[in-house]
Amino acid sequence: MKIFTIVRGKLLAMVLLASSVVWLGSCNDDPEGPTQTILEILQTNTDLSSLLSELEAAGLDQTFASGEYTLFAPSNTALNNLLGTLGLTDFDPVRDDIATAVLTYHAVASIIMSTDLADGQTYTTLQGEDIAVVTGPALETGATSNSTFVETDIEATNGVVHIIDVVMIPPSIGSVVAAVLGTVAQPILLGEDFSTLADAIAVADDYATTNQLPTLVSILGDQQATLTVFAPGNAVFTAAGITTSTYTGEQWYGIIANHVADGNYGPGSNQTNFSALQQITTKAGGTLTVLATDAPTDPPTINSGVVIDSTGDTEPEAQIAVENAAPAGNGTVHAIAGVLAPQ
């Protein structure tokens, strides 16, 4: 009987020991600390769905699946507010390189907790420019009001996410964006469809600055002006074999200025409608003649729709492909098929 008691006691001790090992093992299996990557946080946080969509569109989402980052993540409201400021319904028209620059301006390749955000501290972003911490704490932006924090220290396995209430714009882009918002310059300088024209404007403005001439950006971005821009899209330049290096800055300045006119021309309540043989004086001092205003054909041809001559030889150089492609506060942009030459 005594032997049985001893054996039973030993068996009970072994069972208890085994149970303890199992219990301790299950405790060790419990997750401690973050379990999601930054990308997975973006995928599961409903307030960051718009940002995730933009990162996916730019091919940047997988960046945050590994590595080590701090992401200052604009909320859905922040992105919607920016769309309203730009007068857009989505970011599709925005140049890919600008969208990428803005998105990468929100990420830093190190871990920055909220306790690290001291006034005057600066951090270099993936885009290459710095963001600065100001009193609040808040983050200084390049074109809009300072960005404050909605939620901080959402820890990830590869960094941390802070949700912010304003989309931050890199200073190099912000200085231009702020100057041209709501003008005919905005869709040309920021729009993907007019990126070749925008790059040509940059070449022309280098020449203008060197020669003390008004820059094309300042002309197009004049809030007090009323302008019509006849803007060739990227496909037009590609079809003609024209790149930004085809012409000098001086030549580009004259060519582009011949695509801009004082006044608001086109169909619309605030516009002077086109009429046959109507003449329009351009910023280059040239004369555009409307040769015809027939109904456009499908597909359009150079002799259908609103057809324009820019050389005075009654042979059309362009037609308006999309009227009122980008209405603005200081006029409108018509997308044209063709390139107008100065006389």
Q: Based on the domain organization, do 152 and 47 belong to the same domain? A: yes
pLDDT in tens, the chain (343 residues): 444 444 444 444 443 344 444 334 334 344 578 999 999 999 999 999 999 999 999 999 999 999 999 999 999 999 999 999 888 888 999 999 999 999 999 999 999 999 999 999 999 999 999 999 999 899 997 776 899 999 999 999 999 999 999 999 999 888 888 889 899 999 999 999 999 999 999 999 999 999 999 999 999 999 999 999 999 999 999 999 999 999 999 999 999 999 999 999 998 878 999 998 999 999 999 999 999 887 666 665 656 689 999 998 888 899 999 999 998 999 999 999 999 988 6
Q: Which residues contact 87 (CB under 8 A, 6 or more apart)?
A: 182, 186
Same domain, 82 and 201: no
Of 146, 172, 198, the one marking the end of a domain is 172
DSSP string covering 51-112? HHHHHHHTT-GGGGGSS-EEEEEE-HHHHHHHHHHHT-SSSTTB-HHHHHHHHHTTEESS--
Residues 235 and 279 in one domain: yes
Q: Which of 172, 199, 221 is the last residue of a domain?
A: 172
In a domain, 5, yes or no: no
Same domain, 69 and 114: yes
Indicate whether 135 and 198 sit together in one domain.
no
Q: Which residue reads 């001291």 in tokens? A: 118
Sign of the CA dihedral running 171, 172, 176, 181: negative
What pLDDT score was predicted for residue 87? 87
Pairing type for strands 138-139 and 130-134 reads: antiparallel
- Contacts of residue 308, defined as CB under 8 A and 6 or more positions apart, other chains included, come to 230, 288, 289, 290, 291, 316, 317, 318, 319, 320, 336, 338, 340
List Cα–Cα distances, 243 to 189, 199, 235, in angstroms.
16, 9, 11
| Residue at which a domain ends, from 142, 172, 202 | 172
- Total structural domains in the chain? 2
List the 138-139 sheet strands across, edge first. Answer: 122-124, 130-134, 138-139
Please tell me whether residue 234 adopts helix, strand or coil conformation.
helix
Cβ atoms of residues 174 and 142 within 8 Å: yes
Element (H, E) at 24: helix 2-29
Strand partners, 319: 307, 337
Residue 126, classed as helix, strand or coil, is coil
Can you give the length of the chain in residues? 343
Provide the total of helices (H) and of strands (E) in the chain, helices listed first.
11, 14
Residue 192 included in any domain: yes
Give domain status of residue 6, yes or no: no
Residue 168 and residue 201 in one domain:
no
Query: For residue 1, what pLDDT is reported?
Result: 45
Whether residue 32 lies inside any domain: the answer is no
How large is the angle between the packed helices 249-257 and 195-210, nearest 10 degrees? 120
Residue 131, strand partner residues: 123
Domain range spanning residue 288? 183-337
CATH number for 303 = 2.30.180.10
Answer yes or no: is 29 within a domain.
no
The rounded distance, in Å, linking the Cα atoms of 202 and 139 is 29
Six-digit token string for 193: 């469809």
Kindly state whether residues 228 and 152 are assigned to the same domain.
Answer: no
Considering the entire predicted model, what is its pTM? 0.81
Answer yes or no: are the C-beta atoms of 228 and 278 closer than 8 Å: no
Residue 333 and residue 199 share a domain: yes
- Clarify whether residues 222 and 332 are in a common domain: yes
Considering the domain architecture, whether residues 199 and 168 belong to the same structural domain is answered as: no
d(CA 309, CA 118): 61
Distance CA 288, CA 281 (A): 6
CA distances from 325 to 228, 237, 329 (A): 11, 18, 13
**Cα–Cα dist 317/4, whole Å:** 110
Report if residue 115 sits inside a domain. Answer: yes
Taking the chain, what is the end-to-end CA distance rounded to the nearest angstrom?
121
Task: Output the pLDDT for position 269.
Answer: 75
Using CA atoms, how far apart are residues 216 and 222, in angstroms rounded to an integer? 10
**Geometric angle at alpha carbon 259, from 204 and 310, rounded to 5°:** 120
Same domain? For 198 and 319 the reply is yes
Q: Are 57 and 163 found together in one domain?
A: yes
Question: What pLDDT score does 299 carry?
Answer: 61
H or E element: which one contains 292? strand 287-293
